[in-house]
Amino acid sequence: MNSSRTVEHPGHRNAFSREPEGLVRTAKAHAERLCELALARTPPQYHSFVVLVEQRKKVGGTEANPVWAEIRLPYLTVGGRVRMAIDEHEKACKQLHIETAFVMDPTTGQPLARATVRSELRGTAVAHARIFLNGGGANRSNPVETGETSAIGRALGFLGYGCFGTGIASAEDVLRAARLAGPAAGAGAEGPEGGNRDDGRKGPLGRTRPPNGGTTSRPSVAETPVEMPPVPQAVFSAINALFDRQKTPGARRVALMKEYRGQEQGLVRFLESSGMNPSKPTPEPTPAEPTMDAGADEVPF
């Protein structure tokens, strides 16, 4: 007489387990694999440009009870992308052109840096980056330069330089996003290109680790507020001249002036980059407050 029975095997915990421990283990293993691949695929002369950024990433759970994993992900600095592109084109005897310009966001009216990279090897890419006139750190003292660098890095990323499976963002973009967010941004707030910010329990995302391991360090950034000098009449004259040239409606003028008030030094740099010289007043002085222009009915940015 044949007898049959059902044998139940114990549940196997593999790399795809939905348990919290399995989710964390999978996320850490995947992140470390990305770090290994980034270094393996990056020529040794560019290893110094690779930055491993520590992050606290949401890997599962529910909105009420999320599961977090402490991981590190690889990013390349903008300088590394530039160096890679230049070296590649010099070796192939091909041309590489990097051009920048400054424009206004047609939706928000905020200044943007635009970078255009033309490569005989990889084609053409255009990227934009916001100019944070109200930012901290490098954005406080050099907002135009910081935005320009970010745009160049993104354009080179679109062409494939320094992409490690962690998005187009450069190392500077990820660290800057964390500083702009601050500890109050909340746990796991999304950074650029899917990066995650810290929840503030261990400080902001800006913790970096050398590619070969070692102790954790953080870039030193001066966060002390800089006292702004009084804005001269010439600056307001230059602002109004720019508005007049672009036929900006009065309502938009008032909104922009309120947004940039207190950040005149950054606005001066933006005006200079736009081809205007705020140190020279316009022939017809204008009031400190922008005037209404009832005749214009659209924003031509």
Residue-wise pLDDT for 14-68, tens only, equals 445 578 888 999 999 999 999 999 999 999 999 999 999 988 889 888 888 999 9
CB neighbour list of residue 164: distance below 8 Å, 6 or more residues apart:
34, 37, 38, 41, 73, 74, 75, 76
Mean pLDDT of 145-155: 94
What is the C-alpha radius of gyration for the chain, rounded to an integer number of angstroms? 25
- pLDDT number for residue 204: 33
Residue 121 has pLDDT above 80, yes or no: yes
3-state SS, residue 297: coil
Least confident interval from 53-62, 134-143, 197-206: 197-206
Between 171-181 and 143-158, two packed helices, what is the crossing angle to 10 degrees?
A: 130
Confidence of residue 272 (pLDDT cuts 50, 70, 90): low
Task: Please state the domain extents for the chain.
Answer: 227-301
Q: Which helix (H) or strand (E) holds 115?
A: strand 111-119
pLDDT digits (tens, 9 = 90+) for 79-94: 999 999 999 999 999 9
pTM: 0.58
Tokens of 57: 């990433």
Looking at the chain, how many residues does it have? 301
Do residues 161 and 154 touch, judged by C-beta distance below 8 A?
no
